[in-house]
Structure 1
Amino acid sequence: MSAVDNRTASCLCRSISISLAGEPSLKVLCHCDSCKKASGVVFQANAFWPKENITVSDPEGMLQEYRDTSPDSGRYVLRSFCRNCGSFIMTTNPTHPDISKMAIIPIGIINGEKESMVPDHEFFVKRKLGWLESREGVLEYQGME
Structure 2
Amino acid sequence: MITGNCLCGEVVYQVNSDIKTIVFCHCSRCRKQTGTAFNASAIIKKIDLTFIKGESNIKIYASNGVNRHFCSNCGSHIFSVRENDSNTYRLRIGLINEPINTEDRIHVYTDSKANWDNICDGYTQYPDAINSSDFIPNNS
Looking at structure 1, the residues matched to 129 and 108 of structure 2 have their Cα atoms a distance apart, in angstroms, of 5
* Equivalent residue, structure 1, for 2:138: none
Matched, 1:27 2:10: no
- Point out where structure 1 has 5 or more consecutive residues left out of the alignment: 1-5, 70-75
* Equivalent residue, structure 2, for 1:82: 71
Give % identity: 26
Looking at structure 2, the residues matched to 60 and 139 of structure 1 have their Cα atoms a distance apart, in angstroms, of 34
Instruction: Provide closer, same or farther for how the CA distance between residues 60 and 30 of structure 1 changes in structure 2, counting only shifts above 3 A.
Output: closer
Superposed CA RMSD: 1.8
Residue number among 102, 105, 130 corresponding to 1:120 in the alignment: 105
- Point out where structure 2 has 5 or more consecutive residues left out of the alignment: 131-140
- Higher RCO by CA contacts (8 Å cutoff, separation 6 or greater): 2
Amino acid at match of 1:82: C
TM-score by length of 2: 0.82
SS at match of 2:56: coil
Residue 117 of structure 1, CA deviation = 4.9
Residue number among 33, 42, 48 corresponding to 2:43 in the alignment: 48
Looking at structure 1, the residues matched to 55 and 25 of structure 2 have their Cα atoms a distance apart, in angstroms, of 31
Paired residues in the alignment total 129
SS at match of 1:135: coil
Matched, 1:110 2:105: no
Instruction: Provide closer, same or farther for how the CA distance between residues 118 and 39 of structure 1 changes in structure 2, counting only shifts above 3 A.
Output: farther
